[in-house]
Amino acid sequence: MKSDELQKKLNELNVLQHRVGLIDNQRRQLDFSLSEIKSSINEVKSSKGKVYSMVGSVIIEKEKKIVLEELNKQEKELSSHQKIISDQEEKFKKKASELQETISNGLKDGKPK
């Protein structure tokens, strides 16, 4: 493999690794948000008294059923987004692995035997 081709592949690998890092951060944020939503759902389900919800910067009393519906909708949306992010992460990791192999083979081919 030519030096300029190898450099191009290395740059591409660097970009992919950066993307994987960004996606990993997004996935961790989604994991945290999903965990918070699940915890909130459990709290609302086990509550015996009044249930309150944030609307902007105001806390208002709401029916338990409505709050659970809203939380379940958020959980579904986050789960869907989490799957998309995980699929992207796997795709980028696979591509990075293939590039690493290509680069490694290119370096081996360039060495005298």
**Per-residue pLDDT at 33:** 97
Instruction: Provide mean pLDDT across the span 8-32.
Output: 94
Residue 36 to residues 13, 61, 78, Cα–Cα distance (Å): 35, 20, 11
**Per-residue pLDDT at 46:** 95
Instruction: Provide mean pLDDT across the span 87-97.
Output: 94
Q: Residue 74, Cβ neighbours under 10 Å: how many?
A: 16
**Per-residue pLDDT at 20:** 94
Domain count, the chain: 1
pLDDT band (50, 70, 90) for residue 111 = low
What is the CATH classification number for the domain harbouring 83? Answer: 1.10.287.370
For residue 44, being part of any structural domain is answered with yes
Domain with 13, as residue range(s), is 3-21+38-110
